[in-house]
Structure 1
Amino acid sequence: MSEKKSRLEEIKAELEKLNINPTFFARKEIHELPNVLSTDEKIVYLVEGRNKTTQHHIILVATDRRLIFIDKEFMYGLKVEDFSYNKVSSIQYEKSLMLASIDISIADNILEIDGVGKYEAELFCEKVRDFMSRPKEYFQPKSEPSVLDQLEQLGRLKENGVITEEEFAEQKKKLINKL
């Protein structure tokens, strides 16, 4: 079994333990998680919904390190945005009759996600608020990944079609120049 496949199986097992059952619509984003998460990064909670701006189906992932927004669309490619919890100024949810929406304020930007399950939106916001209240030192990386680790991650991104050959070459050159 390939490394990506085994990592994907670990992630699916992690989601199952958290009692998170993503729908069929989130499968593309879930399959990108092995490329997005660090090896020892743990998912705290995950919700799926619709980006109010683009109307694309997306997932929001709260990990033990950061908040990640993943949008994988067939025609538009992959969009990943991640935010340190200490950059999030507020997170709120609003329930309607059937579903809920989540608004996340980061600097001068507001991410708006709707079509989220009511219970899931509330729980997600609680989990994120818990991390927002932690001291900045909590989020400092334990150790800087080595250049070799970064090159391996870069290779996986290229191998999986997340970045082009040109982007790979450019980033590889930057990393090698650090040596």
Structure 2
Amino acid sequence: MSEKSRLDEIKDELEKLDINPTIFARKEIRELPEILSADEKIVYLVEGRNKTSKHHIILVATDRRLIFVDKEFMYGLKVEDFSYDKVSSIQYEKELMLASIDIHTADNIIEIDGVGKYFAELFCEKVRDFMSRPKEYFQPKHQPTVLDQLEHLGKLKENGVLTEEEFSDQKKKLIEKLNQK
């Protein structure tokens, strides 16, 4: 898959999530195809300013991690990512028209201001949802064993999805596959 089509996929994901980044976030968003894994999905994205550097940044919550992206013309690209189990807290504070987000990890505090009030609240809710998930949720899924597959076939036969003949054919193929290993 070309980088352009991955960027188009990312833009489509953002559109489906009703996220409309400003022109100030374009350079960071263009970097996302290189930063995200091929099957990693964006859950939410906010943009704001890094309180320390005053650079415009994006903060991306994916189905795997939290990513801070700062792409500045003079300073290059800075990417920091944190697995959800490393985030100890995330909070937002509403100001007059905007909000700020503070993310606490074991050895770091990331502070972003200039975030839209509604977006900051929604972003924090999404991140908290992932923070509350068990660590196993983020582990790669195991491949089903032959025994798992045989069990699944048995259930399909039991529920009338497979005939006895189809069940026997599939079972034979699985056993042959097992014997080839």
Q: CA deviation at 1:38?
A: 0.3
In the alignment, what sits opposite 1:113?
Answer: 112
Give the whole-Å Cα distance in 1 for the aligned partners of 2:138 and 2:85: 8
> What residue identity is the alignment partner of 2:139?
Q
Give the whole-Å Cα distance in 2 for the aligned partners of 1:134 and 1:83. 15
Q: Which whole-Å CA distance do the structure 1 matches of 2:82 and 2:141 have between them? A: 18
Counterparts in 2 of 1:140-151, with a 5 A limit? 140-142=139-141
Separation in structure 1 between the aligned mates of residue 93 and residue 78 of structure 2, nearest angstrom:
25
Once residues 27 and 80 of structure 1 are traced to their aligned partners in structure 2, the CA distance between those partners, rounded to angstroms, is 15
- Overall identity of the aligned pairs, in %: 85
User: Which residue pairs with 1:47 in the alignment?
Assistant: 46
State the match for 1:28 in structure 2.
27
Take 2:18 and 2:93, find their aligned partners in 1: how far apart are those partners? 22
TM-score, normalised to structure 1, is: 0.78
Alpha-carbon separation, structure 1, partners of 2:28 and 2:94: 24
Cα deviation for residue 132 of structure 1 reads 0.1
Match of 1:9 in 2: 8
Counterpart of 2:131?
Answer: 132
Q: CA deviation at 1:108?
A: 2.3
CA distance in 1, matches of 2:141, 2:9: 22
2:18 aligned partner: 19
Instruction: Report the alpha carbon displacement of residue 140 of structure 1 after superposing the two structures with TM.
Output: 1.2
Matches of 2:140 and 2:25 in 1, distance apart? Answer: 29
Q: Distance in 2 between matches of 1:15 and 1:66?
A: 17
Report the AA paired with residue 95 of structure 1.
Answer: K
RMSD: 1.0
Task: Return the alpha-carbon distance in structure 1 between the equivalents of residues 111 and 141 of structure 2.
Answer: 32
In the alignment, the residues of structure 2 paired with residue 118 and residue 93 of structure 1 have an alpha-carbon distance, to the nearest angstrom, of: 9
Structure 1: unaligned runs, 5 residues or longer: 144-179
Alignment TM-score, normalising by the size of structure 2: 0.77
Q: Which amino acid aligns with 1:119?
A: Y
- State how far apart, in whole Å, the 2-side matches of 1:38 and 1:70 are: 15
Alignment coverage as a number of residue pairs:
142
SS in 2 for 1:26: helix
Gap runs ≥5 in structure 2: 143-181
> What residue in structure 2 maps to residue 80 of structure 1?
79
